[in-house]
Structure 1
Amino acid sequence: MSAPSITARTLASSAAIESVAAEWRALEQATPEATGFQSPAWRRSCDSSESPPRLVAIREDGRLVMLLPLQIRRICGATVARWLGEPLAQYGDALALPGPRRPAWFDAAQAEIAGWSDLDLLALSGLRADGVLAACGAPIVFGDPSKSAAPYVDLGLGLRRRRSVERRMKRLAAHGPLRLEAVAGAGARREAAEQALAFKSEWLRRRCRFSASLSDAEVVACVRTLAEKGALRAHRLWAGPRLAAVELGLRRDSVYRSLIGAFDPDLAEGAPGHALTVTLLPQLAGDGVTLFDFLPPADPYKLAFATGATAMGGLYRPFNARGAMAALVLSRLRPLAKDAIHALSDRGLPFDTLLRRFARAEEVLTASDSESLMPARKKFPPRAPTAI
């Protein structure tokens, strides 16, 4: 019997990507580790003029068996391939049929990517320890579990009472009876998304914080579109006639992932965000959800509810000195600077402007001339990409 034939192809044009849409959806459904962030719906809702898509399709004997949905963007003066849907998508991973052939498929995908003559860096962040690439044995570098892990609540363990939250919820109820609404209808979901974004923006302003993703007009438009189309679910917590908090998330099978939680900062004493979580968890459990995923990072308010956490990591593969400098900035310098600036802003110092400038590091960084940053040459010979 002959060995299975593995082929890799880069899909870059809209026509080529749409031609595999049905296979893409089927592969997502067949991937046990899929999180919802790799779906075709995200691609259609989050098209970006600055980050054109570039998919890597792996076939074995003609059948689509692995797909890496990527996008290309200029970052830190380098051409970087990262997951499609970033920075809004919180998890990145390949889609792949289960089985022992996955490492061979991933090798083929790496060889295809290494042949892109215009690429400086492959930056695969948001990788879960229980994801497809982890199962392939990819050299993922995992971060500090106290910061970069993804907390979750196993609803099968039962829901614990949180008396401190319940006491603060009484202050919220002073505005009227608490009512949780599962938002229905495209227009109402879009309105809920806009309300969540407005709450989040005001909270960031008051905390002297800056969000590189939520300050991006394309990301904001993507959130609205995803909610309107139903790819994101929406819940609202009301205190009498007053909107207290909004939750936007996505559900896949029995797992619910909380993407954006936001509340009215004027009601902060009543813990509206915690109140929304307390009321939402039992409703989701009654609707068949068994796991509530807070998504990274491992913030204290998430850990107050969590029953466990999944380790998170990244894989950075530079192809030249320019890519190595970009990898250093993205994987090490930017997170350190962000933590430091947030710590200072928590003390009342308005460093949001500095963070904004650092988040757009490509405006201030140029390619490095240091050959000490040059990685070992990739084992695959360079060639022109086979984009169609």
Structure 2
Amino acid sequence: MERMDQTGPVCGALNVSVLTDRAAMEAIADDWRALEQRCEGGLSFFQSYMWCHNWAAHFTGAAGGPRPFVATVWCGGRLVALWPLMQSGVRGALFRMEALGGTHTQYSNIIIDPDFADLAEPIADKLLAALFDAGDFDVALFEGVPDGSALATMMARANSGVTIRNAASLLDLTGFVSADAYVAGLGKLQRRNRNRRRNHLARHGALQFSVLWPDEPAFAPTLYQALQMKRRWLTETGRLGLGLSQPGFGDFLTGLEGDRDSLSGACLSVLKTGERIAAVELGFLHGGHYYCYMGAFDWDLCEASPGKVQMEMTVCWLIDNGIETYDLLANPAGYKESWSNRTVGLSTYTITPSWRGRFYARGWVATARPALKRGLEALAYRLRRLTTLTQGIGCIVLLA
């Protein structure tokens, strides 16, 4: 297969290589990072070398645990496409192929060199062949696939099933020349509410906003404190956080890279009232796109809405630093609608060669799992309300 045009390189045959351990991933680190830079964005942060290698370092390698399966396509010694997957489960029981990172990975995608866009179909065929050559898997599960992405196109080519529809909420920042212009463009009621929240929170101490990077001493302890805040929020609101509760999750997050000069990688937006941390947001910068990965706040200050105050300050910081998008990720919610001006549709795709895979995809992923999650959250909320009511009755009895 030959290719040459006015803008792209000469290419011979497309060759596939599958990486099945961290050492193999490390061996192509420079090629992987170079491919990312050529692609720039496209909702592909969770396919970056930094994310995938760090996740593999913390969560793969144990007996019976997930194993990397990174499909790569090369042309003339140049890496032109990459699909980070992992194998999990047990052959003969339920053997899965899924996005590397599992529940921690918010978007499933592939990276394809834009210089090779006209070879997208043969590249997709090579990647799919690598998937099916992996062996007798029961189900290939790809969650959070953006509409119009290279992976969505490839899944349509593979005639895979769509089991769940979702959406991500995004705020396009390109229309604001400055943070002041953004604030001035808000509605009168929005500005009033945001000023009221700031003033209310400031009663607890002067507001201070800063952005921390992984090479700063305060980064790791602040991130661990944010995880504690987030876990308390889950408890107080009766929600589930399976990825958050996974052992080693905090160590994984603190091991991520970030760079202030290039505005890339992990960073923490920190809002303080005096010396007290009121809210923290962990985000990822990649190709001018900011992924709002985890927000947390001091529950004891919840009536002052510290999280919303921090979000506004983060958005203003992003605008003033030339970032194009503030991405609130999947699962629509009322508060996300008030912070976004566009959405991206997401799909969950499954490929199910076996009856076990079909049962898992249709019975568990599409039906039982969402219902169980809703039921557990409703039960947890009712139990929390019952506990609160019981405490209130106890106080009345004690005071009587």
TM-score (norm 1): 0.82
Q: What's the counterpart of residue 220 of structure 2? A: 190
Deviation at 1:14, TM superposition (A): 3.1
Amino acid at match of 1:264: D
1:286 to 320, 326, 337: 320
Bigger mean CA offset, 300-309 vs 319-328: 319-328
Deviation at 1:28, TM superposition (A): 1.5
SS at match of 2:96: strand
Q: What's the counterpart of residue 196 of structure 2? A: 167
Query: How many angstroms apart in 2 are the aligned matches of 1:249 and 1:130?
Result: 24
Task: Report whether the alignment pairs 1:155 with 2:146.
Answer: no
Deviation at 1:209, TM superposition (A): 2.3
SS at match of 1:74: strand
Query: How many angstroms apart in 1 are the aligned matches of 2:36 and 2:82?
Result: 9
Aligned length: 348
SS at match of 2:376: helix
SS at match of 1:37: helix
Q: What's the counterpart of residue 101 of structure 1? A: 119
What CA deviation, in whole Å up to 9, does each residue of 1:310-358 have, x standing for no partner? 101121111211222222212432123213332443444699xxxxxxx
Q: What's the counterpart of residue 364 of structure 1? A: none
2:80 to 17, 40, 65: 65
Q: Does the aligned pair in 2 maintain the 1:71–1:83 contact within 8 Å?
A: yes
SS at match of 1:289: coil
Task: Report whether the alignment pairs 1:342 with 2:377.
Answer: yes
Query: How many angstroms apart in 1 are the aligned matches of 2:207 and 2:287?
Result: 28
TM-score (norm 2): 0.80
Larger Rg: 2
Q: Does the aligned pair in 1 maintain the 2:145–2:347 contact within 8 Å?
A: yes
Deviation at 1:59, TM superposition (A): 2.2
Runs of 5+ consecutive residues of structure 2 not aligned to the other structure: 4-11, 177-181, 387-400
Q: Does the aligned pair in 2 maintain the 1:190–1:227 contact within 8 Å?
A: no
Deviation at 1:135, TM superposition (A): 4.2
* Structure 1 residues 189-268: aligned runs within 5 Å: 189-226=219-256, 231-268=265-302
Query: How many angstroms apart in 1 are the aligned matches of 2:382 and 2:121?
Result: 48
Q: What's the counterpart of residue 379 of structure 1? A: none
Deviation at 1:140, TM superposition (A): 6.8
Task: Report whether the alignment pairs 1:296 with 2:345.
Answer: no
Deviation at 1:54, TM superposition (A): 1.1
SS at match of 1:116: coil
Deviation at 1:238, TM superposition (A): 0.6
* Structure 1 residues 25-64: aligned runs within 5 Å: 25-32=33-40, 33-47=42-56, 48=59, 49=62, 50-64=65-79
**Greater RCO (Cα-Cα under 8 Å, separation 6 or more):** 1
Query: How many angstroms apart in 2 are the aligned matches of 1:108 and 1:124?
Result: 18
Percent of aligned positions that are identical: 27
Amino acid at match of 1:170: N
CA RMSD of aligned residues (A): 2.5
Say if 1:350 and 1:269 are closer, same or farther in 2 by CA, change over 3 A.
closer
Q: Does the aligned pair in 1 maintain the 2:238–2:378 contact within 8 Å?
A: no
Bigger mean CA offset, 325-334 vs 102-111: 325-334
Query: How many angstroms apart in 2 are the aligned matches of 1:68 and 1:350?
Result: 45
